[in-house]
Structure 1
Amino acid sequence: MTTAMQRKSGLRGLSGFTTRAAVEAALPRLTGRVAADPARTTTTTAPFTGEPVAALPQSTAADVAGAFERARAAQRRWAALTPRERAEPFVRFHDLVLSRQREILDIIQWETGKARRHAFEEVYDAAGGTLHYARRAPRLLRRERTPGAVPGATRTYFHRRPKGVVSVISPWNYPLALPVSDAVPALLAGNAVVAKPDTQTALSALWAIDVAVEAGLPEDLWIPVLGEPAEIGDALIDNADYVAFTGSSPVGAAIAQRAAARLIGCSAELGGKNPAIVCEDADLDWTVEGVQRACFSNAGQLCISMERVYVHESRYAEFTERFADAVRGMELNADFDYSADMGSLTLRRQFERVDAHVRDARDKGAEVLAGGRPRTEIGPLFYEPTVLAGVAPTMAACGEETFGPVVAVYPFGDEDEAVHAANATDYGLNASVWTRDTARGRRLAERIDAGTVNVNEGYGAAWASYGAPMGGMKRSGLGRRHGVEGLLRYTESQTIASQRFVSLGGTPGMNAETLSSVMTASARLMKRFRIR
């Protein structure tokens, strides 16, 4: 970071990672666990400035295979511990993340360019989601009794065994929250993890692994690898016992196909073109603020953010005027404090995609109500939060996921029309409904084809309800993170049944016809007395 940037951020002299010297001092520790040749490196750049951040080691397919071998050896020892013993490091991890948040907030901002308030969402999520599972894993993983084949004579229970070694492949947009939310339940279930964070934002994931080891997680249970998908992607699937992926729908489909060929499980949270429905009775003060946050958190680079807003025709003019005014008033800056409402885009390709979608919409007749232009005088990848009206199906911004700070607003006449429009997409990740009548909002929510629907909130209510499953319908994903499924997806159920007193083959000398008669009578008696 330049001296000018340090002065602008107001963070000179604070401990953390706001200077190059601080990052360089930490790099050997953070990168020391990467399974890679340290001589093969790639250099990441800061979205705020375009300047270099760090030279990170890059893994080969052979490095990935070696990481799995080490992880398997560590996993066998880890799985022998009780779930309660495995939970202890993660309770400490929760505390360390909160107490050391300044340094990870700096790292996240430096790598992603997001506003600090949005970086804090990751800190809160990494701590809160971890504690949720650390508290509940012992109960979810305990042995369970179930009725046996013959009451009193068959004793049956089932228990959960870890899959083995899990591949966790995570993207650049939430580089702390997403690796942690997938790896921690896998580890608590008794697995080891080989993790591939995106190289651009790898320091955030490496920091999390470093903190977990400090909290007491044994070495080699959470091993990072870094590299391009073309070089190490296949190895991450071919050596794994389960794959947890977050990213685009096309890549998720390819991973699912390769995993299926090996008959291993996978889960995938993929893309979204998420709708918000603003009813005629919505509280506009509440709704404008909430929809603004739902659209532009992390500069719109959020799978569960809103890209389509449907407003009842009786409130459309008032809502769009107030919403556009609020968006035009948003503060954009590259400061390492809480002053920005929105930060930078992270990657050049995202910047170019956002600009292309806005240009295409404008050229084909859409109206730009707010934003609509780059702000490179702030930083090379800054783009104004943008509100479009009159977006038609011929425009890329209508049906394609923009994954940036662009939202289209549309009027609707009645609930059926709004639900039809919300569901008119191949995606089904997240949605929101805005109304003073929460019972009505829930009824509407149940008609929307999305894995999570928030009423009077954009995404945070459902996401941070860690006891409830989170994932996508249609092309937005497979399986669920969070909830019971978020932990048990990493396990295999094993049933143990022991027989005593009565043989299922009948008493000695009993023929098959007599046995079938006895079993028929027994079935009728068990039904009558509700034993079954």
Structure 2
Amino acid sequence: MTKNAQLATELATDEFSLIAGVQAPEGQGRVAVDAATREPIGRVPQHTVADLEAAIERATAAQPAWEALGHGERSRLLHAAADAIEANSEPLARLLSREQGKPLNGPNARFEVGACATWLRSAADTVLEAETVVDDASGHATLHYRAIGLVGAIGPWNWPLMITIWQIAPSLRMGNSVIVKPSGNTALSVLTMLSILNEVLPADVLIGICGERGVSSTLAAHPAVGKVMFTGSTPTGRKIVESSASNLARLTLELGGNDAGIVLPSADPAAIAEGLFWGAFINTGQTCAALKRLYVHDSLYDAVVDALADVTARMPMGNGLDEQNVLGPLQNKDQFDIVARLVEDARAGGARIVTGGAPASELGELFYPVTLVADVKDGAAIVDEEQFGPTLPIIRYSDLDEAVRNANRLDVGLGASVWGDRDEALAVAGRLQAGTVWINGHGGLHPQIPFGGVKSSGYGLEFGVEGLKHVSVPQVISG
């Protein structure tokens, strides 16, 4: 028996019992495949627009009773939902590892499933009180936040479970019902998680639907949908905006990023190398707010490149079910081709390939090793385009003002980071055009710290009190 076959056998009955209730009948649906081995793992149902209409009708009918339960009871049920996730965490993580490709260990599949429970509990416990805005001789007015009604949640394939929870946990907490449209690339994992949540939630307040191309646009345009939350590419985000124009649905859009990091002369290359590595290559680089352009001062350039190469050499890549691996394959062929094209373009342009640089075909069809690209300049495709994979262009600078200008040059602004003396880094951070700027780190998120982008990286905020407000409608009571 091959090693891959042994790993698949280890899934045993738990994982397959989880997907039994959500996958399509034999001979129907679309086949979901293991990202590492390309072997079938299940059948994703293919819903139609008619199925979506029926789901909207059910979710709309269920919403008033859900809202009427009140914040306390909804919060209790969200904690119960988190308990259910934790009770099924290992088979769910293994299913996620196979379908998405991310390894079980490191900041990957087990980490993602654990984050689902954490964000559910955080949404349950976050307090959003009515705000007194006027209380004087002129009168009294309070600002309240009410349920919107029905939320459409359209998710991505890179962090399919965690980002779905980011969308549904605050929405449910505020009394909305939710219809989830997962990416077709990782739909089986998401539908399985929803089935676990629905073991404790009232019927029809949370419904998953996936299928034909028109489902997402119909969901965004539907007059019954009062809010659309979308995480994905900027071009698709623009289509969501267009689709939602007819019903004026509220929007939260977390779109593409091409995050810049700036290493100051005061930084210690050895001390920051591992933070830089995971800032860039968490989830094998398939993260919207990953570090994707690194500007390094000339005085530290060679030392930073060497330190990153040393860290890269210690990070094993392979099948995600192998406990030793912390890097996996690209999730799909389209993304693999983008990474390969950008690396070849950089090589042809004279860039220096420090590590990687060619497909790791000995590991499988979609494996591409961590590729550090040095001696590359702004304007190169690998700098200006979002790679969304295991490659990082490293750009040399000597003038800080020029580095800041180049970091702000592109029409995206999800995240950014500054590395070095904290006071110096804080002074630079305020000059960067990004929704979040991290100091001596990149990409770390907290369920109580608001998160969102600027420019073409989207708008709206998630997490914490602000996240609850963005899945609510404000109401002023005055008098």
The answer, yes or no, to whether TM exceeds 0.5 is yes
Unmatched segments (≥5 aa) in structure 1: 499-532
1:517-532 aligned within 5 A: none
1:347 and 2:332 matched: yes
> How much has 1:148 moved relative to structure 2?
5.6
What is the CA–CA distance in structure 2 between the aligned matches of 1:493 and 1:178, rounded to whole Å?
Answer: 25
The correspondence for 1:233, drawn from 216, 222, 225, is 216
- SS in structure 2 at match of 1:370: coil
Matches within 5 A, 1:254-293: 254-293=239-278
| Offset of residue 492 of structure 1 | 1.0
- 1:109–1:115 contact (8 Å) kept in structure 2: yes
SS in structure 2 opposite 1:244? strand
Query: Which of 120, 126, 130 is 1:130 aligned to?
Result: 120
Q: Which amino acid aligns with 2:20?
A: P
Structure 2 residue 456 is the aligned partner of structure 1 residue 468: no
What does residue 222 of structure 1 align with? Answer: 206
Q: 3-state SS of the aligned residue for 1:375?
A: coil
Confirm whether residue 324 of structure 1 aligns to residue 312 of structure 2.
no
- Partners of 1:70 and 1:39 in 2: how far apart? 28
Task: Kindly state the Cα deviation for residue 251 of structure 1 after the two structures are TM-superposed.
Answer: 0.8
Structure 2 SS opposite 1:440: helix
The match for 1:453 is 437
Partners of 2:100 and 2:430 lie apart in 1 by 35
Deviation, structure 1 residue 393: 4.4
Give the Cα separation in 2 of the matches to 1:245 and 1:100: 26
8 A contact 1:275–1:430 mirrored in 2:
yes
Residue range with higher mean Cα deviation, 273-282 or 230-239: 230-239
User: Structure 1 residues 325-334 or 394-403, which shifts more?
Assistant: 325-334
Distance 1:129 1:335, change over 3 A: closer
Q: 1:39 Cα deviation (Å)? A: 7.6
User: Is the Cα–Cα contact under 8 Å of residues 416 and 436 in structure 2 kept in the other structure?
Assistant: yes
Residue identity opposite 2:69 in structure 1: L
**Structure 1 residues 297 and 327: alpha-carbon distance in aligned structure 2, compared to 1, 3 A threshold:** same
Amino acid at match of 1:481: E
Equivalent position to 2:44, from 43, 56, 66 = 56
Matched, 1:28 2:20: yes
Of residues 467, 472, 477, the one that matches 1:486 is: 467
SS of residue in 2 equivalent to 1:397: helix
Partner deviation per Cα, 1:20-68 (whole Å, 9 max, x = no partner): x554433332349xxxx99851111111111111111111111111111
Give the Cα–Cα distance (whole angstroms) in 1 for the partners of residues 340 and 248 of structure 2.
41
SS at match of 1:96: helix
Q: Retained in 1: the 8 A contact 2:23–2:43?
A: no
Q: What is aligned with 2:408?
A: 423
SS in 2 for 1:58: coil
User: How many matched pairs?
Assistant: 475
1:147: which partner in 2? 134
CA deviations on 1:284-331 (whole Å, 9 max, x unpaired) are 222111111111111111001111111111111111122123223431
Report the RMSD for the aligned CA atoms in angstroms: 2.0
Measure the CA separation in 1 of the matches of 2:181 and 2:51.
12
Give per-residue Cα distances to partners, 1:349-377, cap 9 Å, x unaligned. 11111111111111121110111111121
Q: CA deviation at 1:449?
A: 0.6
Gaps of 5+ in 2: none
Letter in 2 for 1:378: L
Which residue identity lines up with residue 376 of structure 1 in the other structure? S
| Structure with greater Cα Rg | 1
Which residue of 303, 318, 329 maps to 2:288? 303
Name the aligned partner's letter for residue 59 of structure 2: A
Distance in structure 1 (CA, Å) of the matches to 2:134 and 2:148: 26
* Aligned counterpart, 1:444: 428
Aligned letter for 2:448? Answer: G
Share of identical aligned residues, percent?
A: 34
Separation of aligned partners in 2, 1:235 and 1:342: 36
Deviations 1:255-295 (A, max 9, x none): 11222332221111011111111111212222111111111
* Post-superposition offset of 1:6: 4.3
The SS at the match of 1:74 is helix
2:86 maps to 98
Q: Secondary structure at the match of 1:30?
A: coil
Distance 1:372 1:495 in 2: 58
1:61-140 residue pairs with structure 2 within 5 A?
61-116=49-104, 117=106, 118-136=108-126, 139-140=127-128
